[in-house]
Structure 1
Amino acid sequence: MFRRFWARHPVVGDAVIALLCLFLTLTPASSVRTGIPDPAGIVLSIIALAGVLAACVALFWRRRHPLVPFVLSFALQALFVVGILPGGTPLILVTAYALAVYGSSRAAWIGFGVALGALVVWGGAFVLGGGLGFADAANAVIGAVIFGLIGTLIGVNVGGRKRYLDAIIDRSRQLLVERDQQAQLAAAAERARIAREMHDIVSHSLTVIVALSEGAAATADREQARVASTATAQTARTALTEMRAMLGVLRDDTSPLPLAPLTAPSPEETVAAAQRAGYPISLTASGTPVTLSAPIDHALSRIVQEGVTNAMRHAPSATAITVRVEHRADAVSVEIVNDGVTEPGDSPGFGLRGLDERVAHVRGTIAHGPVDGGRWMLRAELPLTQEDA
């Protein structure tokens, strides 16, 4: 209870300590002039009283400037040596403790050693000059050693523990800040991942649905219209299933979120859906296929899906859409080219931006833009890992 009270009211604690030191030091300071003839004795007594008051007042600033009261306490002790007062002032104990706690252990030991050495030199000078007996000087120095050593030892112990706790608290605060930053980064990454998945599902499915619906409305053949309508319904059901699965993951608070995205349609499935919609698209694979890791396989499927979707949306007059997948020993590359683009398009949209992020995630490269002959090309190269090889 007392500890909490002093922690909440530091000024009260400072006042109590200052008054206690003043009471214990003022009485011996008033007798400094004993044995010293006037007027030197009166001057020395006035200086001693003023020094005691200054040192006690300086205790109020010992937390911010612990060296100031420490120096004043040893200066007062040097005055006591001249006044032939045995023992040491308790101010040394308090100021040595404050220097160790509010300064540092290194500063406390260095300050104590320097101040004690200066005090020894001061007393020795008076002893050699004949103005002070050896026993009197030794008593004053020994008193300063006892008070200073006790205050420094206790202060080093308390100050070390205080600095250790402060370091732990500061590290805990840093960890909290880092945790919040990591949570924000993770949330941003998850939002980007969900946005990519939603775009790929909705964009591709709606593009195929629009194409099939327009084809069903444009044909006069009832059988072809029925086939197109059936394919439209199947594509819509597939999109709804994928959307329901994704929204179910986001809404389910009872199970942990999966770390992997939803399974993307294979390049063969994407090309088959575009062919059912009536687009002139073909798929060519070369090389020796290997079992790809989940990130590489997912990125490859989404690249084909986005490239085909863009060709269906932005190049409706294309006479040929080619998808080429090449498997090599160190990488797998995919190229989607259509001949329905005659002018450069606008700035990349969300789909191409998402592809850039996907490819960067697997440390691949991607390029897209118009090429010679009024064609548009999307090419990506995904390096294989040791696991893929």
Structure 2
Amino acid sequence: MLRDDLRTLWTEPRPPDAPARVRRDWALLAAGLAGVALEATLREDVVWRPVAVVLAVWLWLLLLWRRTRPLATVTLAFGAVLLLPLASLVAAPGESVGLHTGAVVLVLVYALPRWGSGREIVLGGAVVVAVGALCVVTDGTPVVEKVVGFVFLLLPGVVGAAVRFRMTARERQLEQLRSREREQLARELHDTVAHHVSAMVIIAQAGRVLAGTDPSAAVEALEGVEEEGARTLEEMRAMVAALRDRGIGADLAPPAGVADLERLARTPGGRLRVDLGLDGELDALPPAVDAAVFRIVQESVTNALRHAVDATELVVRVAAERHTVRVSVRDDGRRTGRGRDGYGLTGLRERATLLGGTLRAGPGADRGWHVDAELPRVRSERGVHSRPRR
């Protein structure tokens, strides 16, 4: 079992989308170099001052590549650190060479398990342990201080591994949420396609019965089959474009839509008044868009009841335009916490993206929480073309 765990660790890939450099990296580098300059100027007990300054600057510059080249930065940093005990023996036995700002290597120890692959973590960890052990052995401090120093060196690596595990677990949960959202959307589309196919069969049967006595009725029946077939093809194309190889569940209950918003607005009761406003032609929306509008409003109402402190009113506006449907939900309460999107909003954003739309959520300018979504009536960019309803 241990061998399997080690093999799994060795083949672990790097975390995706690791940022190369961000603005705070340059701010951190500037602060570090300023600290190196101050320490080199103000400290009087620095041994081999030019060497110590060059080494400290080198360690701080390596920070810029800690996410994209974690193994290389750790190897170069600790290879340079390995020269400190040797320089100490040559220059001044018993005296340490280097600046306190060289402790920036702890950031590189953190970055190794946070951003490295399994192979890089194993090799880089071996370098850190070997160099750290050598420095501890050659140091003249008491044993207890040696042990504490060694643990202090490895602690950032443990923190980096814990952060990586937490972020990986969250990404896994988000992916499961997106999968459930796709499955729910697939069930809704499946129900719609089944409805259209049933209508086509009924119209075709009626046309066959009337073909002998009323040819015009048969022609109308064929036109009805054509229209229903076009609608069915539209929904099937949307399903293939959005879901591809996702499975379809067995729960085919008709999904709630815009027509159910009045019932939803009465649900909170006296705790929160919902001001619902509907504008435009909302009775002929594609089923997937119809269900998405309801889900956005439903999740927004739920979030307001849970998280909006001192909220008294929730303003919901749904407006249908020629090519899009706009949904706006605003409450007048106060939000607690950091305001990061929960799993519900993540699922709604995934659904809006699948339908070719957008969803934005965040705090208002003064107070409250705002959710704004824009959904296309038809996914024309995927090659889906609509036909007007008769």
| TM-score band, normalised by shorter chain | 0.3 to 0.5
TM-score, normalised to structure 1, is 0.33
- When the two structures are superposed, what TM-score results if normalisation uses the length of structure 2? 0.33
Higher helix share: 1
Which one has more relative contact order, counting CA pairs under 8 Å at least 6 apart? 2
Larger Rg computed on CA atoms: 1
